[in-house]
A and B are shown apart, each in its own frame.
Chain A
Amino acid sequence: MNGASSGSAAWRRVRAVAWKDLTAERRTKANFNAVVAMAAMILLLFGFALGPDAEGLRNAAAGVLWLTILFSGVLAFNRSYQLELEAGALEQLLLYPGERWTIYIGKLLANLTFVFLMEAIALPLTGVLYHVAFPERWLAVLGVLVLGTVGFVSLGTLYAAMASRSRSREVLLPLLLFPMLVPVLIAASGATAALLVGDVMGDSSTWIRLLAVFDVIFLIGSTWAFPFVIEG
Chain B
Amino acid sequence: MASGEVLAIIGHNGSGKSTLLRIVATALRATRGSGSVWGADLVRDAVAIRGMVALLSTEPGVYGDLTALENLRFSAEMFGVDGSPRTLLSALERVGLGAEGDERARNMSSGMQRRLSIARLLLREPRVLLLDEPFNSLDPDGAALVNALIRETRDRGGSVLLVAHDVSRAAALPDRTVEMHDGVLFEHAAVWTPAPVSGRAP
Contacts and interface: CB of A to CB of B under 8 A. Distances in A.
B79 A88 contact: no
Interface residues of A, number: 27
Interface in A3-28: 9, 12-13, 15-17, 19-20, 23-24, 27-28
Contacts of B28: 231
B87 interface: no
Interface string A218-232: 000000000000010
B55 interface: yes
Interface string A200-216: 00000000000000000
A168 interface: no
B62 A12 contact: no
Interface string B27-54: 1110000000000000000010011011
Interface string A91-104: 11111111100000
A13 B78 CA distance: 5
Contact of A98 (B47, B63, B75): B47
A91 B61 contact: yes
Interface residues of B, number: 34
Contact of B50 (A17, A24, A87, A96): A96
Contact of A20 (B51, B58, B59, B66): B66
Contact of A231 (B29, B58, B59, B62): B29
Interface in B53-100: 53-55, 57-66, 70, 74-75, 77-80
19 contacts: A13-B78, A17-B78, A23-B65, A27-B104, A86-B63, A87-B59, A87-B63, A87-B113, A88-B57, A91-B27, A91-B55, A91-B61, A92-B57, A92-B120, A95-B26, A95-B27, A98-B50, A98-B51, A98-B80
Given A9-B80, A16-B74, A87-B60, 19 more contacts: A12-B80, A13-B78, A13-B80, A15-B77, A20-B70, A23-B65, A27-B66, A27-B104, A83-B65, A87-B61, A87-B105, A91-B22, A94-B27, A95-B50, A96-B79, A97-B50, A98-B50, A98-B78, A231-B29
